[in-house]
């Protein structure tokens, strides 16, 4: 009977010419697609764990208004969706305009409820809100017990008949395409060639032909693939995924699955496993994982993963320099890091010493040209003027690459003592040269760090390691935190005595924002505002940054400021930060324009 049904399903699959799109299978929708039930919630328009909050009522999805929307409510939404927690609430973000009704307004939850519909609210559909006030949430992603290396992540893009398709694969009935998996056993044959073991997976052309790289076309009966021993145990799960679009992925298998996905052009799986890499990046304090994933990304031409790894390394550059992986970095990777403006370092002088000492340690293995090429990427004009004077006697490579240093020192001194308008009038001056652009400098006086004040964090009092944090909290418990810092208007010497004051704030709720007359889109919200007019400095633009540091150990997000408010500035998804234990570091970055 089972076989009979499988054959029927197979026949349908073949007939309908599998497209991977659920719409083709509406016939069976009642069988597999979960029909939403009254009170269900979903996140719309975002990624896996974020989006506009929508609630299902009377057969229709509707939104939630931001009045009363806070972390307690967000936590209930995330819990109902089986995420381990809520990362932050989102208000006024463009998840696209919702077409349906606004179902909930003045929502008030304790935070412990299992269903949003059991919280207090006006009544279904009673509201004076517009869709502009729809709320969103960012949940902590599933399985993000990020510090325990054995988490399992569920990938699920299941389509209609996923389970049936899985059964067809498992049973192998009617399969017409054989894949021989060759794996080196580690032994050598008598003739010196590596001994290979072979296993066979039998699949269906109708399914695999969606991915041309399998060569599962009319005339072929099968293929042979070479798979590394580490990856071999996961090959069959990979093929099964192509049938079902569902899989449980562990850290041990994620790199293998990513490799298989790219080898066979299974884009969705590549993207999904690529996103999982993001989750594991902060876990390795030795930085070996991050570096080897980067090399892997370069090898496979995966631009997204490459950016993902290198961004993490750039943000956490200082830790990288004291990690075991530091001296094993390739010239190519260090060179790529030195091109970045989002490198987080105390100052450019630090970077110069750091690169010099890296070159010294590597010794003759780095050619003279490669050394110069790395050193040229130091932004000499950004080195504080006092330190430029000390450079020659202190530098261990100055004598070796004198011409390069001299040229760059001259450039740096000019930058420090001439007005930008003078520089620009020189035809040899290239204002778009990155050397005139700051990185993210955390040394005094350019930055200040603020611990987040959160009443809801008080229960951590019992743990010693949070002591410092909580003393601050208690002190500041009922006030939004605020700090004033003073910086020169620009880092070049001529502006040394022109100071500007900045106020840095972290707001935890709408009330704190309203008190300051600012509009916040999510919480906590950070603001960095000049305390005097900037119009006098129209040749200087401030491209300030906010660094979010997780549990004092790694930077997991860097934000830009727009209208003095911090906004997501990252090109790739943020790295995880369990427990939301993070601090805010504000960095002032003046730039000539």
Binding site for ligand NAG (CB under 6 A): 47, 84, 143, 145, 148-151, 215, 223, 225, 233-234, 237, 247-250, 252-253, 285, 319, 390, 393-394, 552-554, 568, 570-571, 573-574
Nearer to ligand NAG, 145 or 531 (CB): 145
301, 335 in Cβ contact below 8 A? no
Single out the residue of 292, 305, 289, 288 nearest to residue 251, CA to CA.
289
What's the sign of the alpha-carbon dihedral 78, 79, 80, 83?
positive
Of 357 and 568, which has the nearer Cβ to ligand NAG?
568
Residue with smaller CB distance to ligand NAG, 36 or 84: 84
We find the least distance from the C-beta atom of residue 542 to ligand NAG, in angstroms, to be 21
In the complex, residue closest to ligand NAG by CB: 237
- Are residues 309 and 293 in contact, defined by beta-carbon separation less than 8 angstroms? yes
Q: Give the DSSP H/E element, type plus range, for residue 43.
A: strand 41-44
79/68 Cα distance (integer angstroms): 18
Least CB distance to ligand NAG at residue 327 (A) = 16
With H, G, I as helix, E, B as strand and everything else as coil, classify residue 240. helix
Nearer to ligand NAG, 238 or 502 (CB): 238
Q: What is the DSSP string of 174-213?
A: T--EEEEEEEEEEEE-TTSSEEEEEEEEEE-HHHHTTSGG
- Reduce the DSSP state of residue 282 to 3 states and report it: helix
Least distance (Å) from ligand NAG to the CB of residue 15?
26
The tokens for 242 are 């192509």
The nearest distance, CB 29 to ligand NAG, in angstroms, is 28
Expressed in angstroms, the distance from the first to the final Cα of the chain is: 75
How far is 329 from 334, CA to CA, in rounded Å? 7
Q: How far apart are CA 139 and CA 578, in angstroms?
A: 11
Taking the complex as a whole, the smallest distance from the CB of residue 581 to ligand NAG amounts, in Å, to 13
Minimum distance of ligand NAG from residue 484's CB (angstroms): 26
Q: What are the structure tokens assigned to 154, written together?
A: 């569920």
Least distance in Å: CB of 143 to ligand NAG?
A: 5
Running DSSP on this structure, what letter comes out for residue 368? Answer: H
| Nearest residue (CB) to ligand NAG, 360 versus 499 | 360
Please say which residue, 60 or 250, places its beta carbon nearer to ligand NAG. Answer: 250
Distance CA 77, CA 420 (A): 52
Asked if 186 and 229 count as a contact pair (C-beta separation under 8 A), the reply is yes
**Min CB(259)–ligand NAG separation in Å:** 12
Tell me which long-range contacts 498-501 makes (C-beta under 8 A, separation of at least 24): 498/537, 500/530, 500/531, 500/532, 500/534, 501/530, 501/531, 501/532
| Shorter beta-carbon distance to ligand NAG: residue 470 or 522 | 522
CB 423 within 8 A of CB 415: yes
CB of 223 to ligand NAG, least distance (A): 4
**Minimum distance of ligand NAG from residue 27's CB (angstroms):** 30
> Which residue bears the tokens 């919702």?
98
Residue number with CB closer to ligand NAG (285 or 541) = 285
Least separation in angstroms between CB 566 and ligand NAG: 11
**DSSP codes joined into one string, 116-156:** GGGSB-S-TT-----GGGBEEEEEEPTT--TTSTT-EEEEE
**How long is the chain?**
593
Q: Which is nearer to ligand NAG, 249 or 423 (CB)?
A: 249
Q: What is the dihedral sign for C-alpha 309, 311, 313, 316?
A: negative
Residue with Cβ nearer ligand NAG (12 or 572): 572
**How would you classify the pairing of strands 246-250 and 152-156?**
antiparallel
* Residue 573 or 590 having the CB closest to ligand NAG: 573
Looking at beta carbons only, is 251 or 592 nearer to ligand NAG? 251
Task: Output 171 or 215, the one with its CB closest to ligand NAG.
Answer: 215
- Category of 312 on φ-ψ map: left (φ > 0), alpha (ψ -120 to 50) or beta: alpha
Helix count and strand count (H, E) for the chain: 19, 24
Distance CA 576, CA 560 (A): 19
Residue from 108, 109, 107, 105 nearest 129 by CA:
105
Q: CB-wise, 199 or 570, nearer to ligand NAG?
A: 570
């Amino acid at each position: 009977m089972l076989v009979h049904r499988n054959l029927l399903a197979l026949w349908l699959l073949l007939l309908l010419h599998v497209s991977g799109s659920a719409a083709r299978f509406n016939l069976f929708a009642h069988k597999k697609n979960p029909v939403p039930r009254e009170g269900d919630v979903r996140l719309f328009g975002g990624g896996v764990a974020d989006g506009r909050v929508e609630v299902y009522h009377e057969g229709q999805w509707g939104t939630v208004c931001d009045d009363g929307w806070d972390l307690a409510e967000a936590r209930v939404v995330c819990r109902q969706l089986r995420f381990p927690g809520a990362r932050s609430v989102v208000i006024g973000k463009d998840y696209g305009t919702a077409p349906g009704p606004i179902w909930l307004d003045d929502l008030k939850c304790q935070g412990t409820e299992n269903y949003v519909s059991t919280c207090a609210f006006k009544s279904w559909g009673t509201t004076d809100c517009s869709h502009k006030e729809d709320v969103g949430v960012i949940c902590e992603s599933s399985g993000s017990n990020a510090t325990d290396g054995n988490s399992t992540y569920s990938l699920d893009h299941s389509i209609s008949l996923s389970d049936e398709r899985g059964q067809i694969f498992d049973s192998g009935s009617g399969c017409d395409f054989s894949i021989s998996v060759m794996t080196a056993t580690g032994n050598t044959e008598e003739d010196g060639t590596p001994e290979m073991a072979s296993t066979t997976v039998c699949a269906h052309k109708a399914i695999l032909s969606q991915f041309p790289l399998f060569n599962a076309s009319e005339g072929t009966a099968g293929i042979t693939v070479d798979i590394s021993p580490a990856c071999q145990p996961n090959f069959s799960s990979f093929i099964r995924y192509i049938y079902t679009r569902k899989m449980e992925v562990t850290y041990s298998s994620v790199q293998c699955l990513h490799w298989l996905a790219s080898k066979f052009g299974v884009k969705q799986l590549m993207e999904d496993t690529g996103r999982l890499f993001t989750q594991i990046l902060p876990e390795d304090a030795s930085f070996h994982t991050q570096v080897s994933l980067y090399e892997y990304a370069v090898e496979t031409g995966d631009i997204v993963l490459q950016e993902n790894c290198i961004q993490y390394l750039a943000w956490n550059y200082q830790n990288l320099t004291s990690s075991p992986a530091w001296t094993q970095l390739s010239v190519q990777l260090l060179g790529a890091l030195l091109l970045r403006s989002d490198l987080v370092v105390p100052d450019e002088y630090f970077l110069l010493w750091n690169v010099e000492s890296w070159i010294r340690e590597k010794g003759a293995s780095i050619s003279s040209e490669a050394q110069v090429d790395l050193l040229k990427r130091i932004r000499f004009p950004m080195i504080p003027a006092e330190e430029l004077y000390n450079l020659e006697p202190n530098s261990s490579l100055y004598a070796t690459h004198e011409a390069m240093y001299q040229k760059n020192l001259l450039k740096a001194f000019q930058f420090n003592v001439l007005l930008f308008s003078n520089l620009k009038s020189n035809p040899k001056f290239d204002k778009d040269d990155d050397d005139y652009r700051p990185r993210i400098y955390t040394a005094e006086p350019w930055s200040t760090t603020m611990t987040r004040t959160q009443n809801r964090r008080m229960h951590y009092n019992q743990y010693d390691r949070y002591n410092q944090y909580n003393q601050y909290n208690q002190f500041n418990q009922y006030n939004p935190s605020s700090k004033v810092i003073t910086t020169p208007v620009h880092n070049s010497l001529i502006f040394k005595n022109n100071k500007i004051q900045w106020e840095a704030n972290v707001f935890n709720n709408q009330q704190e924002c309203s008190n300051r007359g600012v509009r916040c889109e999510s919480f906590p919200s950070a603001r960095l505002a000049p305390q005097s007019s900037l119009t006098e400095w129209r040749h200087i633009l401030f491209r300030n940054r906010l660094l979010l540091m997780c549990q004092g150990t790694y930077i997991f997000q860097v934000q830009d400021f727009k209208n003095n408010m911090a906004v997501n500035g990252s090109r790739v998804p943020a790295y995880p930060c369990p427990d939301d234990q993070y601090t805010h570091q504000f960095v002032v970055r003046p730039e000539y324009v």
